[in-house]
Amino acid sequence: HLQADNFDCRNAETQTEINQCAYQDFQQKDEELSQIYQQYYAKLETKRQQQLQHAQSVWMTFRDLSCQYEADYYQGGSLAPMVYSSCLKDKTIERINDLKNYIALY
């Protein structure tokens, strides 16, 4: 696998580079999601923590399956990894915003 940090993603030209950069973008948002999740989780009582854990687990399954469904349209093509990673990133950003809203209400 080509490492995205070996080149500037703004100058990605090949589909492999673009795919790797899309995955890197998702990873950054996934790390942000993890931090926000932990921040919110720490504020909750035990029962609410359990509910949040379950909701997060189900949400992650939904996210992954939904994005796989979207990427399968391009199955076998070089765009599939980019479509999958971009979908994961977009859904993760939505979840980050949801959790930030929960924190604001808490």
What would the DSSP string read from start to end of 15-49? HHHHHHHHHHHHHHHHHHHHHHHHHHHHHS-HHHH
**What is the average per-residue pLDDT within 34-41?**
98
Q: What is the pLDDT of residue 6?
A: 63
pLDDT of 84 above 70: yes
CATH topology of domain 13-105: Substrate Binding Domain Of Dnak; Chain:A; Domain 2 (1.20.1270)
Task: Band the pLDDT of 96: cuts 50, 70, 90.
Answer: very high
* Pairwise pLDDT comparison (28 vs 106), residue with the higher score: 28
User: Quick check: 65 and 75 in contact, CB under 8 A?
Assistant: no
pLDDT of 104 above 80: yes
Measured distance CA(86)–CA(22) in Å, rounded: 6
Q: What is the pLDDT of residue 2?
A: 44
- pTM for the model: 0.89
Enter the tokens of residue 28.
């950054």
